[in-house]
Structure formats: structure tokens, C-alpha cells
């Protein structure tokens, strides 16, 4: 199939697996910070494939050009922006939650913060509303007691090659038999105070926050101000690090 891809490195395995048996026509990626979110891998793959790439937001004229050039499918995965929906071109989005639960930009940290027993990944039709389209494919997985954002996304990326293979092999049937989501609600993005910790917090609470945003900055507040915490964990007992009620952060 001739496929356009929209996304950055968060779900790289989707683009990589799609490229093995399909033609990637163009990559639409996002302007990322290059530290906590990157697009180096998707751009490098596009370059190897000879596919053009851009960080410009997808416009209707881009959709028109894709259709004119014979594009058969647009796949988005973590793309920041709403894509113009056009009935002439099938479009799907990959979302790292079990929709309709977990609509919104940050379902992964919220699943850990809310101590959900499971989550998953959903491939759904792209609609005017974010994360609302009919479901084509869905896979679930258990969340470990010590799940981190990194390990969560490792599970998502492990499922995506098989899901992308099924998507491209049987698109017409999946499309025609897609399941409406039904009722759902958007989860609001965490407030900055949700990842600010202090000596008043317990190890159990602090570690859950640190795991939920693992790889992104959390903060510790004390009399000297705010301190950035990156890829830290909380531990019981005494030790060198930022103090908690019953332990420390390191």
C-alpha cells in the first residue's frame, strides 16, 4: 500500500513495521524539543526510504496532494494536531489507551497515576473530534505494580508491528466492520502541581508520580526552591537523595 505517516518517535515501531511491506510516501512529523520528545528515528527512516518529511502542520492541500498521488492510507501516531478529515482517503489514528477510556493527550501517565490494572492500544478511524472514531483494532495488556512510562510504551510498541500488519492486510474488512466507541470522555492533561513532590510525600505516592512521568521532568520543592527530577525513583529507608516522609528520591 501507499501510506502517509504522521507522528514522531513515541510509536516508532508502527512506522518501521509499515515500511517493511508498504511504500511510505511522506512523513508528517512535529516540531519536538529533542530532549523529552524526539523525531530523529522517524526522520532517519524517512530519509532511508527516500520519503520527504515536514514539520508543517497537515493541511487540506496536503491531503489533496496525497490523494492525487495515489495514497491509500494515512496513519497517525502521536501526531500533535487535528488532521483534516477527507472521506476520499482512509485515515486511522493509533492511541495508547483502551478507547473510549483515556481520550486525550496523556493517557499513559494517567493510567499509572490512577493505578489501572490494565491499559492498551487502539487503532481507530480519524474523525473531526480527537480520539472518537470507530475502532478497527484494539489490544490490551496488564500494568505492572512498578510500571513506568517507558515500560508502558515498550508494551505499546511491542504490539504495533502485528497490528499494522493486520491493518494493511485487511483494511477494507476492518474499515467496514469498525466498532463505534460509544460514550467516552476526555482526560484533562495533568496539572503541573501533579508532578511536584516534597518532603511531606510518602515513598508510595512519590514513586507513582515518578513512574508515571518517567523520562519527563518531575520536580521536588524545598526551602531552596524547585529541583528537577529526571528518571528518578523513590525508595524506603535512609539514603542520599531528596527526603520523603518514609524514604528518599534518587
179: buried, middle or exposed (CB in 10 Å: 19+, 13-18, 0-12)?
exposed
**Percent of the chain topping pLDDT 90:** 92
pLDDT of residue 185: 85
Question: Would you state the pLDDT for residue 110?
Answer: 95
Q: Residue with C-alpha cell 522517524?
A: 42
Residue 25 reports pLDDT greater than 90: yes
pLDDT of residue 191: 85
C-alpha cell at 232: 528518578
The pLDDT of residue 190: 85
Separation CA 157–CA 69 (nearest Å): 30
The pLDDT tens digits for 212-228 are 999 999 999 999 999 99
> Could you tell me the pLDDT band of residue 122, with boundaries at 50, 70 and 90?
very high
Cell numbers linked to 111? 493510567
Say if residue 241's pLDDT is above 90: yes
Mean pLDDT of 88-102: 97
Would you say the C-alpha torsion 166, 170, 175, 180 has a positive or negative sign? negative
Distances in Å between the alpha carbon of 213 and those of 32, 36, 104, 106, 223?
17, 11, 16, 10, 24
Instruction: State the pTM of this model.
Output: 0.95
142-162 residue pLDDT tens: 999 999 999 999 999 999 999
SS3 annotation, the chain: CEEEEEECHHHHHHHHHHHHHCEEEEEECCCCCCCCCCCHHHHHHHHHHCCCEECCCCCHHHHHHHHHCCCCEEEEECCCCCCCCCCCCCEEEEECCCCCCCECCCHHHHHHHCCCCEEEEEEEECCCCCCCCCEEEEEEEECCCCCCHHHHHHHHHHHHHHHHHHHHHCHHHHHHCCECCCCCCECCCCCHHHHEECCCCCHHHHHHHHHHCCCCCEEEEECCEEEEECCCCEEECCCCCEEECCEEEC
Burial of 59 (0-12, 13-18, 19+ CB in 10 A): exposed
How confident is the model at residue 171, as a pLDDT?
Answer: 98
- Name all domains of the chain by residue range, CATH numbers in brackets: 2-176 (3.40.50.170), 192-249 (no CATH)
pLDDT of 189: 84
Confidence of residue 170 (pLDDT cuts 50, 70, 90): very high
pLDDT at 24 over 90: yes
Residue tagged 477494507 (cell numbers): 172
pLDDT of residue 146: 97
The grid coordinates of residue 206 equal: 512519590
Q: How many CB atoms lie within 10 A of CB 116?
A: 17
The pLDDT of residue 188 is above 90: no
Amino acid at each position: 500500500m501507499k501510506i502517509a505517516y504522521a507522528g514522531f518517535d513515541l510509536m516508532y515501531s508502527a512506522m518501521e513495521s509499515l515500511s517493511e511491506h508498504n511504500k511510505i510516501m511522506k512523513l508528517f512529523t512535529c516540531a519536538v524539543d529533542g530532549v523529552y520528545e524526539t523525531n530523529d528515528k522517524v526522520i532517519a527512516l524517512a530519509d532511508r526510504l527516500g520519503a520527504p518529511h515536514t514539520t508543517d502542520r497537515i493541511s487540506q492541500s496536503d491531503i489533496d496532494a496525497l490523494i492525487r498521488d495515489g495514497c491509500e492510507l494515512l496513519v497517525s501516531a502521536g501526531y500533535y494536531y487535528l488532521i483534516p478529515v477527507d472521506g476520499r482517503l482512509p485515515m486511522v489514528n493509533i492511541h495508547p489507551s483502551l478507547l473510549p477510556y483515556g481520550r486525550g493527550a496523556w493517557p499513559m501517565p494517567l493510567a499509572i497515576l490512577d493505578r489501572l490494572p490494565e491499559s492498551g492500544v487502539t487503532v481507530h478511524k480519524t474523525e473531526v473530534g480527537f480520539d472518537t472514531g470507530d475502532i478497527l483494532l484494539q489490544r490490551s495488556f496488564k500494568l505492572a505494580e512498578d510500571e513506568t512510562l517507558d515500560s508502558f510504551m515498550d508494551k505499546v510498541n511491542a504490539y504495533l508491528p502485528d497490528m499494522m500488519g493486520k491493518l494493511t492486510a485487511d483494511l477494507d474488512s476492518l474499515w467496514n466492520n469498525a466498532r463505534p466507541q460509544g460514550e467516552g470522555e476526555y482526560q484533562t492533561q495533568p496539572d503541573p502541581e501533579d508532578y511536584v513532590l516534597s518532603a511531606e510525600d510518602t515513598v508510595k505516592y512519590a514513586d507513582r508520580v515518578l513512574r508515571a512521568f518517567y523520562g519527563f521532568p518531575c520536580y521536588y520543592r524545598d526551602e531552596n526552591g524547585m529541583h528537577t527530577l529526571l528518571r528518578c525513583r523513590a525508595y524506603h529507608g535512609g539514603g542520599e537523595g531528596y527526603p520523603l516522609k518514609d524514604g528518599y528520591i534518587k
